[in-house]
Structure 1
Amino acid sequence: MNAALPAVTAERLSGDDSNGGSQGAGTGARATTVPALSFAGRKLYRHGRPHRIIAGAIHYFRVHPGQWEDRIARLAAMGVNTLDTYVAWNFHQPNKGQAPDFSGWRDFARFITLAGDAGLDVIVRPGPYICAEWDNGGFPAWAVSDAGMVLRSSDPRFTAVVADWFDALLPVITPLQAANGGPVVAVQIENEYGSYGDDAEYLRWNRAALQSRGITEMLFTADGGTDYFLDGGSLPDTWATATLGSRGDEADAVWQRRRPGEPFFNVEFWNGWFDHWTENHHTRGAADATAEVRKILDLDGSVCLYMAHGGTNFGLTSGCNHDGVIQPTVTSYDSDAPIGEDGRLTLKFHAMREAFFAAEGRELTPVPEALARPAAPLPASVIELAPGTGLLEMARAGGAVTSVKPLSFGELGLDRGMVHYTATAVLPPGGGTIRLRGLHDRAYLWIDGVPAGVLTDGTAGSGLKVEHSGGPVVLEILVENQGRINYGPLLGQDKGILGGVLVNQRYIFHWEQRALNLERPLEELLELGGGAALAGGAPPPAGPGWFHGEHHLAEPADTFLALPGFGKGFVWVNGFLLGRHWEVGPQVTLYVPAPLLRAGTNRVSVLELERGGTRAELREEPELGAAGPAHVEDLG
């Protein structure tokens, strides 16, 4: 682009072209109001005045709504001028045939308004793909279940479902734009598309879909900071921004060469990293992260910290990666961010704050005392847990669906949770090897009601050897979905047993399967298999199944829940599905925000898959695991 041109606005920069079209993009008059942001050459302007975006990402879906205002206040105190958030489609519309929900925790218009009330601009990233280490990259499983659909492409089957979603979503965003007196100054087209595909027609469709539904503020794409990513994910007439965690000066040089008429904006600066189960807790030093931010600021670039406050993957919302085997993400999304999962202000917060104030030529004033002092957590205590219904009793209790071959989660209409498979298998004398083809993700096996072992996506092909005198047996398999893939070419992959079950080389046919939706009300789950009774066939403390306990509080406060002695499973607090726990770590404690608790009796329920314990512990400090370095080699 010509750097000598006058200030470029979103209207001109992101205008329709002959290849973009608006097919399937809906209807609606396009506004002519001048957007808040514009640029001339490499200079960014806000309403005509020189401007630099200093932003931080907070996801409303990872923060209890009772804490939105507090976390936004902490973000503003760090010296930023902008809040950045994704919109998670599957958070608003998890079930097919139901209208998207924008109320309560899902009222992100309120979240955006609160940011504006705190004096912040807002960048919205509606996807529909968001990655974000979020289950299925934000896609509802039902929306992308068509095996013939080409995800994130101009395939009409895909754009049709996205168009329906945008029809519901965009009317929530458009009134919040700066042109209408709101805080929204920019909206992203798709998300890091250059690391997935090369369908420029789809990117133009996405842009036209936003514009035709009333988006008039600045539009932009976001991709890695190299030629490769720009080649796949950018458009020649739309502002291109970068996602990276190091070597920002090198990326800026790429922009000077490839996008000479555009200011440099590192829209995702990875100042920390997320964790997978079985790995170390990733950290990044405050000095190292801040030094990289200063490089961008010294070049007059804009920057957004990803994450400024990470929050929590409550319930079953954490996604997973895939590198030969499934890599499920932990419940915490602390991400070693400047504002901790519980809101505490870290050394990184203060280092970044100093850099931001200096870049803007502002005097470094003290952090408001109400924010500087962390709220006192609950005192450490122990909650005794008593066993309830056994795991198999619960799994066997639901209504069965029969089939010749095992059905997947998608075929059963289940997004998250578990599926219990049952069939009669004939074992040869001496036993045999049970193999699961296409297992996603983790399977617990029983033969005639006796535990036989565990298979994973990495071991299911080689199988589980069992000894037996031979003859027919009842084979039961409980498959856990550990989170849908959120990044890469396997995005949208189904869960369950996708290829069949074999004894040696022989398939087992004729199955019953029961879908266990763990996101249904807890009271309904506890009714399966006889409810929460603590006697009469209950498992011993060492066995899998339900465990329950109560704790009395005079006044709610934040706390951190640990489950010593337990193996792997799920935790509810006062009926709210807090998240997954797993003894392999790195995460040991689960953050329990104060709004989930109440004065009086509070109930903890654990569904254990492997090995139960006798107690839960409330701790005063988080324990996210042994620290290891962030993947700095991946941050550029």
Structure 2
Amino acid sequence: MPALTTTSDGFLLHGEPFRILSGALHYFRVHPDQWADRLRKARLMGLNTVETYIPWNLHQPEPGTLVLDGLLDLPRFLRLAAAEGLHVLLRPGPFICAEWDGGGLPHWLTTDPDIRLRTSDPRFTDIVDRYLDLLLPPLLPHMAASGGPVIAVQVENEYGAYGDDIAYLEHLELSLRSRGVEELLFTCDQTDGDHLKNGVLPGVLATGTFGSRVDQSLQRLREAQPEGPLMCGEFWIGWFDHWGGPHHGRDAEDAAADLDRLLSAGASVNIYMFHGGTNFGYTNGANHHHAYVPTITSYDYDAPLTESGDPGPKYHAFREVIARHAPVPDEPVPAPSPKLPPTTVRLTDRAPLLPLADRPVHATDPRSADELNQRSGYTLYRTTVPTPGAGLLHFAGGVGDRAQVFLDGAPAGVLERERYDETLPVHVPRPDAVLEVLVENMGRVNYGPRIGVPKGLLGPVTLDGTPLHGWDSHALPLDDVPVTAAFAPAETPTCAEPALHRGTFEVRTPADTFLALPGWTKGQAWVNGFHLGRYWSRGPQRTLYVPAPALRPGVNELVVLELHGTTTLDAQLTDTPDLGPEQS
């Protein structure tokens, strides 16, 4: 019998009345050395539970593998939650959305055009089952049935917004049960339209997702599920940002008032997010409704706990609301973490990027990044243009997602998927000039029918209608700083080509800090090999969060990949984040 059971209007935990007061905390968006701190702060706000997705694409980067270490050491995260006295809601997907690269579906799966994703297509469900065969055994000891913290497990994720294949949901339910999951199962769907109707699975608890109109949303949930606990599976208290858009926020008192309405109605809740964290590396997703828009590196979400783990206005407001409905620990609210003193880092060494491309795949036409089995990062394409003079380059099918074009090493222009760019006027300087196209994967779509859309160059390339053939396609994943980078002292402060820039700085006592790059344009940053993620002067985000555990006493190394150009050798470490002007 599961530890968590339901009555006609509530939950029982080990037979005693229980209300879930949960907050979302994604272990894969937080440095592992900070998990314990974030969990403690969840308990001190008055939460008794935390919720996390499980990103399939990171845990299984290739078929038949399973990664459970470092940032992905989920068993350790569950042990730490139990040590803090917190229960856990697990959301293994297989699809998670979460503004996460590809919605968590592996690139090697989504690029197969024959598989009908998120359906009862056996080509899809067989692969899901093989993944669960590997994932669940190390997690079963952490289920409540075995004395662990996990009291409930989600089936799929907001499926009613995608499809209505009940056989698929039934398959997932059976897959979890047959592999030893005894705990309460639940679904999670938006409460508008037909989402609840399409996503509800008989015999499985239905929960709703919403951020306002509490009474109306709970009524719709009750209509879809006449008996059982009322629960908001995602109570949206902030929002995420896209590059080139505003920084979203929500008034703390407004969000707290809706939380009070939820709890006053007797409902359980999962606050999304309690602590958003960071899309480190290349893990951000993207949306594509009318146009492609990639998500920024920060996943701060205007959450109660900021990206750097400090209690914000919502933390205090929510703690006061929770205290009206449940006991709150009689301990002081945690103080903000110490921050590194403002520091200037001079990037004295430089290495050009494009010469790093090696092991090309040669073909008549360029190969997509997916054909090169590349999940993320960059792809470089090279060919020659036989005829000099002015002309119009045409990229059939566009680019995925942002292409920088060079002729004999000189920048010739940029094409972007979000603008539906396919053509570029150029001047070819000489016969057989070298054409190079550096394409950046800005994040895979995480919601809707465009999941799995390919990256890189997406078709043949012509100049004034004449096909350009004989392409070398180079994978440049750049997950780490390339060991082959030929760093040399920078001769001038300015640089107008894609290049890696390196410098060092001293730290007495490691503490959180924020990397600002005024005078720089677009690229990636690493501190001591830890991949902080993407920066872009387009904003809204102006700083990258640097977790204290990524630093060390003494000499530290900063490497910046700048794709366009910089007017300075300096970067700044500041004690204050800048996520852009806020739009409520």
CA deviation string 1:495-552 (max 9, x = no partner): 1112222223333222111100111x42xx1414xx212268x994344311111001
Task: Map residues 332-481 of structure 1 onto 2, 5 A cutoff.
Answer: 332-360=298-326, 362=327, 367-368=331-332, 372-394=334-356, 397-427=357-387, 429-459=389-419, 461-468=421-428, 472-481=432-441
CA deviation string 1:382-433 (max 9, x = no partner): 0111241123333xx3111111121111110111111111122345754234
The alpha-carbon distance between structure 1 residues 49 and 365, as it changes in their structure 2 partners (threshold 3 A), is: closer
In structure 2, how many angstroms separate the alpha carbons of the residues matched to 1:469 and 1:452?
A: 11
Match for residue 27 of structure 2? 60
In structure 1, how many angstroms separate the alpha carbons of the residues matched to 2:338 and 2:97?
A: 34
Match for residue 21 of structure 1? none
Match for residue 127 of structure 1? 93
In structure 1, how many angstroms separate the alpha carbons of the residues matched to 2:24 and 2:552?
A: 29
1:35 maps onto 2:6 in alignment? no
In structure 1, how many angstroms separate the alpha carbons of the residues matched to 2:18 and 2:329?
A: 22
Task: Map residues 243-322 of structure 1 onto 2, 5 A cutoff.
Answer: 243-322=209-288
In structure 2, how many angstroms separate the alpha carbons of the residues matched to 1:562 and 1:616?
A: 6
Match for residue 501 of structure 1? 461
Match for residue 489 of structure 1? 449
1:616 maps onto 2:583 in alignment? no
Match of residue 484, structure 2, among 517, 527, 532: 527
1:595 maps onto 2:549 in alignment? yes
Task: Map residues 547-558 of structure 1 onto 2, 5 A cutoff.
Answer: 547-558=501-512
Of stretches 421-430 and 331-340 in structure 1, the one that deviates more from structure 2 is: 421-430
Of stretches 572-581 and 470-479 in structure 1, the one that deviates more from structure 2 is: 470-479
- Secondary structure of 1:485's counterpart equals coil
Match of residue 110, structure 2, among 144, 158, 161: 144
- Tell me the CA shift for residue 326 of structure 1: 1.9
CA deviation string 1:444-493 (max 9, x = no partner): 00122221010011445451112357854322100000011111110122
Contact 2:391–2:463 (Cα < 8 Å) also in 1: no
CA deviation string 1:538-584 (max 9, x = no partner): 99434431111100111111111111110000001011111111011
Contact 2:525–2:559 (Cα < 8 Å) also in 1: yes
In structure 2, how many angstroms separate the alpha carbons of the residues matched to 1:103 and 1:466?
A: 48
In structure 2, how many angstroms separate the alpha carbons of the residues matched to 1:176 and 1:140?
A: 25
- Secondary structure of 2:324's counterpart equals helix
Contact 1:485–1:492 (Cα < 8 Å) also in 2: yes
Match for residue 538 of structure 2? 584
Contact 2:153–2:186 (Cα < 8 Å) also in 1: yes
Contact 1:224–1:242 (Cα < 8 Å) also in 2: yes
- Secondary structure of 2:306's counterpart equals coil
Of stretches 140-149 and 261-270 in structure 1, the one that deviates more from structure 2 is: 140-149
Contact 1:338–1:349 (Cα < 8 Å) also in 2: yes
Contact 1:388–1:539 (Cα < 8 Å) also in 2: no
In structure 1, how many angstroms separate the alpha carbons of the residues matched to 2:535 and 2:394?
A: 28
CA deviation string 1:211-264 (max 9, x = no partner): 000000100111001351012211122111111111121111112222111221
CA deviation string 1:294-321 (max 9, x = no partner): 1111111111111000111111111111
The alpha-carbon distance between structure 1 residues 471 and 541, as it changes in their structure 2 partners (threshold 3 A), is: closer
1:77 maps onto 2:31 in alignment? no
- Secondary structure of 1:378's counterpart equals coil
- Tell me the CA shift for residue 354 of structure 1: 1.0
Aligned-partner residue type, residue 40 of structure 2: A
Match for residue 133 of structure 2? 167
Match of residue 580, structure 2, among 621, 625, 634: 625
In structure 2, how many angstroms separate the alpha carbons of the residues matched to 1:48 and 1:94?
A: 41
CA deviation string 1:358-382 (max 9, x = no partner): 112x3x66543xx522222110110
Contact 1:419–1:480 (Cα < 8 Å) also in 2: yes
CA deviation string 1:21-43 (max 9, x = no partner): xxxxxxxxxxxxx1122222222
Aligned-partner residue type, residue 31 of structure 2: H
Task: Map residues 322-333 of structure 1 onto 2, 5 A cutoff.
Answer: 322-333=288-299
In structure 1, how many angstroms separate the alpha carbons of the residues matched to 2:45 and 2:521?
A: 39
The alpha-carbon distance between structure 1 residues 76 and 503, as it changes in their structure 2 partners (threshold 3 A), is: same
Normalising by structure 1, report the TM-score. 0.89
Contact 2:390–2:425 (Cα < 8 Å) also in 1: no
RMSD: 1.8
In structure 1, how many angstroms separate the alpha carbons of the residues matched to 2:463 and 2:405?
A: 13
- Tell me the CA shift for residue 286 of structure 1: 0.5
- Secondary structure of 2:398's counterpart equals strand
In structure 1, how many angstroms separate the alpha carbons of the residues matched to 2:439 and 2:297?
A: 19
Contact 1:246–1:292 (Cα < 8 Å) also in 2: yes
Aligned-partner residue type, residue 576 of structure 1: F
Aligned-partner residue type, residue 621 of structure 1: T
CA deviation string 1:91-110 (max 9, x = no partner): 2222345x202123321111
Aligned-partner residue type, residue 335 of structure 2: R
Aligned-partner residue type, residue 302 of structure 1: S
Normalising by structure 2, report the TM-score. 0.96
1:221 maps onto 2:187 in alignment? yes
Match for residue 186 of structure 1? 152
CA deviation string 1:141-193 (max 9, x = no partner): 11333221111111111112111110011112221111111111100001111
In structure 2, how many angstroms separate the alpha carbons of the residues matched to 1:297 and 1:134?
A: 29
- Secondary structure of 1:342's counterpart equals coil
Contact 1:435–1:504 (Cα < 8 Å) also in 2: no
In structure 2, how many angstroms separate the alpha carbons of the residues matched to 1:206 and 1:265?
A: 21
Percent of residue pairs identical? 45
In structure 2, how many angstroms separate the alpha carbons of the residues matched to 1:539 and 1:144?
A: 43
1:93 maps onto 2:48 in alignment? no
The alpha-carbon distance between structure 1 residues 436 and 459, as it changes in their structure 2 partners (threshold 3 A), is: farther
Structure 2 spans left out of the alignment, 5+ residues: none
Aligned-partner residue type, residue 297 of structure 1: L
Of stretches 467-476 and 106-115 in structure 1, the one that deviates more from structure 2 is: 467-476
Contact 2:348–2:490 (Cα < 8 Å) also in 1: no
Contact 1:436–1:460 (Cα < 8 Å) also in 2: no
Task: Map residues 14-25 of structure 1 onto 2, 5 A cutoff.
Answer: none
In structure 2, how many angstroms separate the alpha carbons of the residues matched to 1:146 and 1:342?
A: 38
In structure 2, how many angstroms separate the alpha carbons of the residues matched to 1:596 and 1:614?
A: 22
Match for residue 26 of structure 1? none
Of stretches 203-212 and 608-617 in structure 1, the one that deviates more from structure 2 is: 608-617
In structure 1, how many angstroms separate the alpha carbons of the residues matched to 2:210 and 2:462?
A: 45
- Tell me the CA shift for residue 347 of structure 1: 1.2
- Secondary structure of 2:489's counterpart equals coil
In structure 2, how many angstroms separate the alpha carbons of the residues matched to 1:471 and 1:327?
A: 38
In structure 2, how many angstroms separate the alpha carbons of the residues matched to 1:65 and 1:162?
A: 27
Of stretches 142-151 and 487-496 in structure 1, the one that deviates more from structure 2 is: 142-151
- Secondary structure of 1:467's counterpart equals strand
Aligned-partner residue type, residue 533 of structure 1: A
CA deviation string 1:72-124 (max 9, x = no partner): 00000010111101111122222345x20212332111111211111111100
